[in-house]
Structure 1
Amino acid sequence: MGGAVFATEKKAYPGKLTFSVFKACIVASMGGLIFGYDIGISGGVTSMDSFLLRFFPSVFHQKNLDQSNNEYCQYDSQILTTFTSSLYIAALLSSLVASAMTRKFGRRNSMLFGGALFFIGALLNGFAQAIWMLILGRMLLGFGVGFCNQSVPLYLSEMAPYKHRGSLNVMFQMSITIGILIANVLNYFFAKLGGLGWRLSLGGAMVPALIITVGSFFLPDTPNSMIDRGDHEGARASLEKIRGIQAVDEEFDDLVTASLESKLVEHPWKNLLQRKYRPQLIMSIMIPFFQQLTGINVIMFYAPVLFNSIGFESDASLMSAVITGLVNVLATVVSIYGVDRWGRRALFLEGGFQMLICQIVVAIAIGAKFGTNGNPGVLPIWYAVVVVVFICIYVAGFAWSWGPLGWLVPSEIFPLEVRSAAQSVTVAVNMLFTFVVAQIFLTMLCHLKFGLFIFFAVFVVAMTIFVKFLLPETKGIPIEEMTRVWKAHWFWSRFVDQDEVDNPIQIPKSPYFVDTII
């Protein structure tokens, strides 16, 4: 990728990874905790008999009393899946509103607002007395997730030095995986408490909500956002602090240039459809689409339900979910270490191949034991070991590739003038297909049976081919120089305006002049 090398050599901003920016990115990445906690908690709660008996008695009867029922179909209930999936349709809607709020009020305030909404939703779920309270609480959780998922990746990408942008941005995914693990552990212990257990599990979401809400009060906003809102002096002081040097003229001038260009854009949503943004827009749609169609949320949403459906006892299914959650966290560390060393493409491709092999093996293992009638008889130890091991290897492949990179790459490829709107597209697509998968998974498991894993494997093949031929490498390229990546690509170069790439708007270095024209 000659263009990537050229861009990196042209713009090598001075500065280092300071404690100030590292601390800010750690706190901001905690926004991922609320998303991860919810992903992990919902599957465990919906497998608790006390929860099912209280709100979904028909599912409880189908699971525990109907001995003739096919194991694949014991959780097949559209009302039950609505409990899980309602959060994601709410997140989709809020992500569209979050774009304007993030741009007008800043990344930090958007995170704060999202955390507050999530806290209220968790409180309502913890004290729920009826299904409508559960659904309303889940929707408030979704609004909070939408705001945080829109603002946190932008915050991390804009705060981080370009050489460390990948590693710092992956902290968001790390927080998601930690949230999933914590939720799985709590489900395992709370399930033993009967009716109190599911309330503690759902209400426990207030803790990560408080972390991001309170933490946001102490975060600085990004220099990009401060410039965009007219605070040039504050932005320059912030940039000097987070880079650890005073010689930030070049980077600051580029940020001001980007801000000027962004202010010339009156309708960022409409401008996203312009030809010059076509490559980035397609990536912002296809990457989150493929991320959800890997089948990962089959594991993460419904891990206890899935393991229980394929013959594990309740305690064993919850413990298996804990194990996959732990693997998820540890494997994400690999991405933090390697994303800025090995590059995005290498991790995408390796992860896709690894997930494909594991899905085929799991499909064979489940198909051989269950067939199509879903009656496994007595499950031998080797069967349980094979299924859990290969699911863990699958989770590891996702955790160091499509998990973190599905958030990182879309957040770093857009110019400032359409960045907030584009991030909303990414979140909206992600939440839309998260909703679809969550809503139809249990029905698909009932009808496709072990073929469900083959269904997702087909998409893994498609997304790996997509990355191989259409995704350029973005490692080590300053975020305001990213346009040159597309100009160097064999396919996307036809969409990029040559004159705009080679002759960007030049902003005079006089602060007075800059302030005047902006």
Structure 2
Amino acid sequence: MQGCRKKYPRKNNRKEREWALRPKLYGFNQATPLYLSELAPTRWRGAFNTGFQFFIGIGVVAANCINYSTARVPWGWRMSLGLATVPAIIMTIGAFLIPDTPNSLVERDRIDEARNALRKVRGPTVDVEPELQQLIKLSQLSKAMEKESVRTIVEEQYRPQLVMAFVIPLSQQLTGINIVAFYAPNLFQSVSFGNDSALLSAVILGLVNLASILVSTAVVDRFGRRFLFIVGGLQMLLCMLAVAIVLAVESGVHGTENISKGNTILVLVLLCFYAAGFGWSWGPLCWLIPSEIFPLKIRSTGQSIAVAVQFLTVFVLSQTFLTMLCHFKFGAFLFYASWIAVITIFIILFLPETKGIPLDSMNAIWSKHWYWRRFMVKGQVSRDNHPMTS
């Protein structure tokens, strides 16, 4: 739809259609990372969740290709919008075919079905009984505790997870990635690309991001989450600063209508490196971290908060970016560069490594952290600290 923006005469209706899709997207974005985290073996959990972001990237590239192909057709925006029904139908049918996670089946006392589900996903030759018994034990402990309520997640012992549920998705959007993705055609038109070239540039950015997600899938369970966050953050920071410098030198404080062809290409290259840095760090990890840090009793609530924060931030930033770009010119990129620096420092100081930690043992990492351990309840940590076979 973004590629057809100028061909659609009633902007408000376009917004209404776009936001009508968001409740459905919210449901899938909330459920899918949780489903993958609960289903995946511990040693492959990062790769499974990174795959979620990879297929989001495929969808973005496909949408940009469709926009590019239909840009010259008078009714092309209708085709772009209508083709969104194809993946929606596939997802709806697929939802009836995939199995429930063993965790959810045990929670509903469907033990035999949970055993069969474990055998299906772990393989027929794997002894699933130790893992099943561990799930049953955790379920019994969870049921013995106070029933989950919305207020449960604000208890002091869950302060670290709650902070991350807000900060991680908020920070992902403050890197500026969705602004670049949403308005890539506008950005490239503003730096001397034509309409078709601008749409093609968005396709290029999407392909670069997609390739970098493949890199993340291969290394996330080897080097860990913190390493990718930090190195990816530094890469994005340098690229944003470089873009700001190029635009400042070329167009000055007040801006000009066009910049030189050489600097236009340089901006594209820098944004490609920026997209690559995001694709193997903040892109997939924003879905992975919230899905694995919460205890079972508040996991769904925590993930819902994380997705809600992300969508709200996307809405606010998407409504303000073009105004910011028009008024502050290169300063808009300095704004996002500053946030990238802040959130990278936050990751260094406050996010413990979760690589290779079973979901049921995740509370132990907070109890060992220099800052978060002051919020942890010793009894709660010991109850949750039961390693799971994977």
Q: TM-score, normalised by structure 2?
A: 0.95
Q: Equivalent residue for 1:346?
A: 227
Residue 228 of structure 1 aligns with an amino acid whose one-letter code is: E
Write the distance in 1 (CA, Å) between the matches of 2:48 and 2:73.
Answer: 38
Displacement of 1:188:
0.8
- How far apart are residue 253 of structure 1 and its match? 2.2
Indicate which of 95, 120, 125 corresponds to 1:216.
Answer: 95
Taking a change above 3 Å as real, the CA distance of residues 372 and 239 of structure 1, as seen in their structure-2 partners, is same
- Amino acid of the structure 1 residue aligned with 2:100: D
Letter in 1 for 2:95: S
What is the alpha-carbon distance in structure 1 between the residues aligned to residue 140 and residue 31 of structure 2?
21
Amino acid at match of 2:250: K
Per the alignment, residue 55 of structure 2 pairs with 175
Matches for 1:322-471 after TM superposition, within 5 Å: 322-377=203-258, 379-471=259-351
Number of corresponding residues: 384
- Structure 2 counterpart of 1:477: 357
1:55 equivalenced with 2:10 (yes/no): yes
Deviation at 1:241, TM superposition (A): 2.1
Q: Is the 8 A contact 2:64 2:203 kept in 1?
A: yes
Deviation (angstroms), 1:248: 2.1
Query: Is 1:305 the equivalent of 2:186?
Result: yes
SS at match of 2:81: helix
State the partner residue of 1:85.
Answer: none
Q: CA deviation at 1:488?
A: 1.7
8 Å Cα contact 2:53/2:284 also seen in 1: yes
Give 1:202 deviation, angstroms. Answer: 1.4
Is 1:233 the equivalent of 2:112?
A: yes
Supply the AA of the counterpart residue of 1:227.
V
Q: What residue number does 1:316 align with?
A: 197
Matching residue's letter, 1:210: I
2:221 partner SS: coil
Structure 2 segments unaligned to the other structure (5+ residues): none
Alpha-carbon distance in structure 2 between the residues aligned to 1:250 and 1:265: 26
Asked if the contact 2:360–2:384 (Cα under 8 Å) also holds between the matched residues in 1, the reply is no
1:360 touches 1:457 (CA, 8 Å); kept in 2?
A: yes
Question: What is the CA–CA distance in structure 1 between the aligned matches of 2:257 and 2:385, rounded to whole Å?
Answer: 67
Q: Secondary structure at the match of 2:192?
A: coil
Q: Does residue 142 of structure 1 match 2:22?
A: yes
| C-alpha contact (below 8 Å) 2:361/2:385 kept by paired residues | no
Taking a change above 3 Å as real, the CA distance of residues 325 and 405 of structure 1, as seen in their structure-2 partners, is same
Among 479, 482, 497, the residue aligned to 2:377: 497
Following superposition, the deviation at residue 246 of structure 1 comes to: 4.9
Mapped partners of 1:135, 1:299: distance in 2: 18
Please tell me the residue identity of whatever aligns with 1:430: Q
Q: Does 1:45 pair with 2:1?
A: no
Percent identical: 46
Residues 235 and 388 of structure 1: is their aligned pair in 2 closer, same or farther, counting only changes over 3 Å?
A: same
Aligned 8 A contact 2:362 2:385 in 1: no
RMSD: 1.6
Task: Output the CA distance in 1 between the equivalents of 2:52 and 2:78.
Answer: 27
Amino acid at match of 1:137: R
Asked whether 1:488 is paired with 2:368, we answer: yes
Q: Residues of 2 paired with 1:198 and 1:496: CA distance?
A: 52
Give the gaps of 5 or more residues in structure 1: 1-41, 57-78, 80-130, 507-518
